[in-house]
Chain A
Amino acid sequence: MNLLLVIPFLVPLVGAAVTLLLRRTPRAQQAASVLVLAAVVVDAALLLAKTAGGTVATSQAGAWEAPLGITIVADALSALLVLVSSVVLLVVLLYAIGQDIGGLSRAMPQVFHPIYLVLTAGVCLSFLAGDLFNLFVGFEVMLTASYALITQAPTRARVRASMIYTVVSLTSSILFLTGVALVYGLTGTVNMADIAEKLGAAPEELRMVLALLFLVVFGIKSALVPMHFWLPDSYPVAITRISAIFAALLTKVAVYAIIRSQTLLFGRDDISAVLLWMAIATMIVGILGALVQDDINRVVAFTLVSHIGYMIFGLGLNTVAGIAGVVIYLVHHIVVQASLFLVNGLIRQYVGHTSLRAVRGLTTVSPALALFFLLPAMSLAGLPPMSGFVAKVALFKAGIEAGGWLVYLGVVAGVLTSLLTLMAIFRIWVRGFWGTPMPDMVEARAQLRSGSSRAGLRFTTAMTGVMVGVGITVAVMAGPLTDIAFTAARELLDPSAYIDAVLQKGPS
């Protein structure tokens, strides 16, 4: 049990050291990275198999008892997210390797691999952290790596975007640390299970303030309206592999932190109304932004903001069905966003840019590309039988069961957002994929076909296909996924199993 819980962050760190030493031999470096991530995927699958039934796995680092030491915890939610994240990380890594083999990217592979693995460690540690401070550490490891990654292949636009990104992230990190300090001052502990027990005795107002503080902290990081302004400015500018990972994972880690902190640490109905209002605002504002953008990458970035709203809506319902819907949505959205950004990268590779003003007739240029775009896009809009449909239906059903005028308003906003998402996608489809291709696009494509980078490009395209395939797998596995989601939701709303597992002596 100790081993399973530790591998997801320890092995990537060792891998980072190894790839740093293997700088001069790119092939060995690539092999090491792939092996590390494959190990994490296998480990996460085993962990999920252990926790899917509702057991909570814990490991006390340094054998210090729970409230004092660092606890590593995995329940169904954590294990599921580690699994999905590591699969996405692995596929994006393979995509990046394909680009490097073909010489298609100006990123520096010798720098990219170590930092990418550090990012992996940070993401996994955030999901598995059992105390608030360790969650902060996980976030920081992840963010520090992301600061370095966002400026890979630096251009003026990228440096500018990374400045915004870094300043905003650091601000929220400072607030996060302040929040941890306040919680510690109030309860005398940073262990989340322990806080959950002790915070109940704290005055109602203080609890409310802390809950809101943490909502702001993670709201900045997950780009909830009105704290979303930085995301569409920074993510789309980075190179493809980076924006795909950022869009897929970084905001979702923050959503996970919102779920964990608002269910485990703070009271039940305290801020449900706030969450619902924020969810509605996020959905509508995000999708309206997407409708007026002229660059495919930016459209997708705005839909990312918009669809975070669905998850917050489910959390605001505060019912088992609602939170189960959030879990399904998380899984679906991680995979779909990664696919869409990878496809955008392919478009940029094939024809040189992603601006809707200058792209036309992509279906003629590459039918495979059109298919790879259409499938995740349909899923994002929530058309059956894709995973987005499953997730949205779960959420709406939970909303209608929960009742109340605000919830109904949220459901209406959700349906409206779905339709507008469809509209945003059709805008891309009609303007970018239909029609006769521009002459410069045909030329770029022909040049690429005859160039030396063909093998790399083919591999990259295949990996995009694999990512789309993962998305379809999510839809096919909807049954088991729903079971796991409901287990996770029940654990979140009744955290006694979690608290018992952490505070009593672990099974080690």
Chain B
Amino acid sequence: MTTADGAWRAGADGDGQGDGAAPEGWEAPRERWLSTVVRPAFGPRSVLLEIVARLLIPAILTFSVFLLLSGHDRPGGGFVGGLVASMAYVLRYVAGGRHELAAGLPMRPNGLLALGLLVACGTAGAPLLFGRPILETFSFSTVLPVFGTVKFASFLLFDIGVFLIVVGLVLSVVAALGARMEAEEEEARVRRPRREGGR
């Protein structure tokens, strides 16, 4: 977080309430914009950021799926899609801290990584069972009611694997660098409450 946030927090801590309560004269927001209510360790809650995150995350995730699907013969693909999707989670982490990040994930980052690797390797190796070289793609086209002619390729599965690997990897990095630091910060705060004068 920036120094501006630090200064703001120093003011908040200074009035003796601490723990991110709103300063005098502020109406604390009652709406919950994120799924957890634990405030992030670095700086106070930022309602603005929470709202933006709430609004943007579905759009970002949808866009990442679009990139994943369109990637077969247009710009996009699993790698780019995965990066975009992980940015949604990073935004959620910045807005809500590590508890919010954990609440938004179906499994731990390591699990995502392993699952992605399994899916990708499985798809790459599946043609071997039919005596074909690795990574060979099978595709067929079909006509769907709304979308028109749609081409399905087995390569999409591989891309989904890549997508999961990228998301898992980025989140592992966030977990290892950001979240652990945050946990340590919280621990330090429990040990030494009421540090006057902010940082």
Contact = CB atoms under 8 A, between A and B. Distances in A.
A114 B165 CA distance: 14
A14 B134 contact: no
Contact of B124 (A10, A16, A20, A114): A10
B22 interface: no
Contacts of B135: 61-62, 70
B115 interface: yes
B110 A23 contact: yes
B133 A10 contact: no
Given A3-B128, A20-B110, A21-B111, A13 B121 contact: yes
Contact of B132 (A2, A10, A17, A70): A2
Contacts of A3: 128
Contact of B128 (A6, A20, A23): A6
Given A10-B124, A10-B125, A17 B114 contact: yes
Contact of B114 (A6, A21, A506, A508): A21
B121 A2 contact: no
Interface in A22-64: 23, 59-63
A16 B134 contact: no
Interface band, chain A: 20 to 34
A2 B115 contact: no
B113 interface: yes
A2 B117 contact: no
A18 B134 contact: no
B35 interface: no
A17 B133 contact: no
A45 to B, nearest CB: 19
Given A6-B128, A10-B125, A17 B117 contact: yes
Interface in A53-85: 59-63, 70, 72
Contacts, number: 61
Contacts of B110: 20, 23
B114 A63 contact: no
A63 B136 contact: yes
A13 B117 contact: yes
A508 B113 contact: no
Nearest to B114: A20
A91 to B, nearest CB: 25
Contacts of B111: 20-21
A6 B122 CA distance: 12
Contacts of A508: 131-133
A16 B131 contact: no
Given A6-B128, A17-B114, A59 B133 contact: yes
A6 B127 CA distance: 11
**In the complex, which of the residues B113, B115, B133, B135 has the most CB atoms of chain A within 10 Å of its own CB atom?**
B133
Nearest to A63: B136
Residue from B110, B117, B122, B136 whose CB has the most chain A CB atoms within 10 Å: B117
Contact of A2 (B118, B122, B133): B133
Contacts of A13: 117, 121
Contact of B118 (A6, A17, A62): A17
Interface of A: 2-3, 6, 10, 13-14, 16-18, 20-21, 23, 59-63, 70, 72, 114, 506, 508
Given A10-B134, A23-B110, 12 more contacts: A2-B128, A3-B128, A6-B125, A6-B134, A14-B122, A16-B114, A17-B117, A20-B111, A20-B113, A61-B134, A114-B114, A506-B133
30 contacts: A2-B132, A2-B133, A6-B125, A6-B128, A10-B121, A10-B125, A10-B134, A13-B117, A13-B121, A14-B117, A14-B118, A14-B121, A16-B114, A17-B113, A17-B114, A18-B114, A20-B113, A20-B114, A21-B114, A23-B110, A60-B133, A61-B133, A61-B136, A62-B134, A63-B136, A72-B134, A114-B114, A506-B133, A508-B131, A508-B132
Interface of B: 110-111, 113-115, 117-118, 121-122, 124-125, 128, 131-137
